């Protein structure tokens, strides 16, 4: 009898332990369910516009190439062999040369002949130059883009002679190409608003800069002489939205691509280079932008005295973009 009593007591205690453990488990599961439900809170997609232009700038400061469709990678837009700002003009000591120092660079167009695996350079008064997209035997140059060190594959003597002749200066220039295996720059190291997987080759700040047509129209109502979108060099242009609506798009979906707004694009003297003539005025439209598009005083440590026009976006999900794609603002 004592043995049976002991067994009953043990079973009762074990039963209470099992029930207690089960209760804890159910409570934990309920908590996890609430957390999971919060994380899985459905998003609402609100259509806010449509893609009207996609522009790839293979050569930093060169002419933009308008395309109907493009891959959107973490490093920016890619069309065929041409990746956004993956070619750069440098001085002999490796420092970047842009339209700020050489305004006529904006007239240089870079295209590609996919069948022959060649890059094609064209500019006013110059015969077309073709050279291979890949030149693995060429030396790798150490370059300086703003305060960042980065590499580039030298594009050869013919390319150097061509760009030096075109710019007609008393110095020699080189043309280099960033290759995927090279170490890319990370915008987050200077601006914490970007994602950690954001990478760029030779752009100033971020890989994707977006603007709306209505923002440009509003600016043009304030100018004596109208300017085109090419003065501001966006990668993605959106139509059918209010002026400066892009300032409030924290996350957007375009096709399969998901973009997250990182920071505003601060504008500099490069916006005063006429993309049709290659002439720099150092005045408009920059001065007009300064009259109404300055940052909030609390953000002056970020943007300083530069006006804001357009927005940089981080690429959360890569994919394909097409002109005509609807743009959806994602809300939670």
pLDDT (tens digit per residue) in 167-196:
999 999 999 999 999 999 999 999 999 999
How far out from the chain centre does Cα 52 lie?
Answer: 17
The residues, any chain, with a CB within 8 Å of residue 10's CB and separated by 6 or more, are: none
Residues in the chain predicted with pLDDT less than 70, given as ranges, are 1-42
Query: What are the tokens at 145?
Result: 């883009």
How far out from the chain centre does Cα 53 lie?
Answer: 15
Angle 34-37-43 from CA coordinates, rounded to 5°: 150
Instruction: Please give the pLDDT value at position 209.
Output: 98
Task: Return the residue matching tokens 């159910």.
Answer: 26
Domains and their CATH numbers in the chain: 45-331 (2.40.33.20)
- State which H helix or E strand residue 7 sits in: helix 2-39
Instruction: Please give the pLDDT value at position 28.
Output: 42
User: Which residue in 221, 329, 79, 238 sits closest to 229, CA to CA?
Assistant: 238
d(Cα 91, Cα 164) in Å, to the nearest integer? 10
d(Cα 69, Cα 19) in Å, to the nearest integer? 61
Instruction: Please give the pLDDT value at position 249.
Output: 98
Q: Are 119 and 131 in contact (CB under 8 A)?
A: yes
Instruction: Please give the pLDDT value at position 38.
Output: 37
């Amino acid at each position: 009898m004592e043995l049976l009593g002991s067994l009953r007591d043990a079973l009762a205690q074990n039963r209470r332990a099992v029930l207690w453990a089960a209760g804890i488990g159910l409570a934990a599961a309920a908590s996890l369910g609430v957390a999971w439900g919060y994380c899985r809170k459905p998003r609402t997609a609100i259509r806010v516009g449509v893609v009207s232009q996609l522009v790839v700038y293979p050569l930093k400061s060169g002419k933009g190439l308008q395309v109907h469709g493009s891959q959107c990678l973490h490093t920016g837009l890619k069309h065929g062999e041409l990746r956004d700002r993956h070619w750069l003009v440098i001085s002999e000591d490796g420092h970047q040369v842009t339209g700020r120092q050489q305004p006529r660079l904006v007239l240089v167009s870079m295209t590609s002949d996919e069948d022959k695996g060649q890059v094609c350079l064209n500019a006013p008064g110059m015969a077309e130059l073709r050279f291979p997209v890949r030149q693995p035997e060429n030396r790798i140059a150490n370059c300086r883009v703003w305060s960042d060190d980065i590499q580039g594959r030298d594009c050869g003597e013919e390319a150097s002679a061509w760009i030096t002749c075109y710019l007609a200066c008393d110095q020699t220039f080189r043309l280099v190409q960033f290759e995927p295996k090279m170490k890319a720059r990370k915008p987050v190291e200077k601006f914490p608003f970007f994602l950690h997987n954001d990478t760029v080759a030779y752009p100033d700040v971020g890989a994707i800069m977006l603007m709306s047509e209505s923002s440009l129209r509003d600016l043009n109502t304030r100018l004596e002489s109208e300017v085109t979108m090419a003065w501001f060099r966006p990668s993605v242009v959106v139509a059918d939205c209010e002026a400066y609506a892009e300032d409030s798009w924290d996350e957007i979906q375009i096709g399969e691509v998901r973009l997250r707004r990182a920071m505003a694009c601060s504008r500099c003297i490069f916006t005063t280079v006429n993309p049709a003539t290659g002439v720099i005025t150092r005045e408009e439209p920059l001065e007009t932008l300064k009259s109404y598009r300055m940052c909030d005083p609390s953000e002056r440590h970020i943007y300083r005295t530069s006006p804001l026009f357009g927005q940089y976006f981080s690429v959360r999900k890569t994919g394909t973009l097409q002109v005509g794609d609807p743009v959806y603002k994602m809300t939670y």
